[in-house]
Amino acid sequence: MKDSMDNIRNREVLQVVLLQTLALFSEGAAIHRVYERVDESFHFPAEWYREIPAGTGHEELKSKGCLDWRTLPQDKLVEMVTTEPQWQNEIRWARNDLRKDGYLDANAPRGIWRLTAKGFQAASSNVTASMLSPEEKRIATPQPKKATPIEAQKTVKIGTNSIGHREALEEKLKFLTSSMPTADLAILVDIARVIRQRSLER
């Protein structure tokens, strides 16, 4: 398995993933919505979920005397700077390639990713996916995380509104963190990242 994973072309796989995902949004989608849908629909190799510096994270690490972030353990890295899963960084590069090739609308509003007619055609024809190896195709095939019938029907009442389980948790989180000091909130985010990373490594 290790040898086959060494030959996986991340960028090509993520181009197919992105075409399939954006085809679901006729008017385009905000970047965070794209990330959410990809995370819900695809299962990537564990190493693609490795946290890497995001935004100005590289400069921040250099200012702290760390010239190579790869030498830091994951838990230490997420404590020091803002991070993101590696696949999110790679998918932005895949998006740039698709835009250069005319599959993404270069005139879409800032922060919105939208397919062109050529992009929708490529997504529906599956031509790009046909160029992937069997292992790459497996990764680029949607495998949604299925909720059990009971979980799918779960609703929680907040005030007079009946809302889904995820929305209820988000509402509770907003309430709990609205008065939380920024430092405590940062610790909470870091803990969540470490828990997610450990669950992916199992």
The 10s digit of each residue's pLDDT in 125-177 is 876 777 899 999 999 999 876 554 444 444 444 444 444 555 666 666 665 66
pLDDT of 26 strictly over 80? yes
Structure tokens at 125: 């024809």
- The three-class DSSP label of residue 158 is strand
CA angle 54, 175, 154 (to 5 degrees): 95
Q: What is the Cα 39 distance to its own chain's centre?
A: 5
Dump pLDDT digits (tens) for 44-81. 999 999 998 988 888 888 888 888 888 888 888 888 88
Residue 4 reports pLDDT greater than 70 = no
DSSP 8-state class, residue 69: G
CB of 88 closer than 8 Å to CB of 48: no
- Which residues have CB under 8 Å from 201's CB, separation 6+? 46
pLDDT value, residue 146? 53
Write down the pLDDT at residue 189.
Answer: 77
- Give the span between the Cα atoms of 82 and 43, in whole angstroms: 23
* DSSP assignment letter at 165: H
Q: Which residues pair with 164 in a beta bridge?
A: 155
**Residue that the structure tokens 């693609």 belong to:** 48
Beta bridge partners of 104: 115
Q: What whole-number distance in Å separates Cα of residue 7 and Cα of residue 88?
A: 20
Cross-strand bridge partners of residue 113 = 29
**pLDDT for 164:** 54
Residue 65: strand, helix, or coil: coil
Q: Residues with Cβ < 8 Å from 190, sequence gap 6 or more?
A: 78, 79
Strands annotated E in 7-123: 29-30, 51-53, 83-85, 112-113
Distances in Å between the Cα of 131 and the Cα atoms of 13, 15, 24, 42 are 10, 12, 22, 19
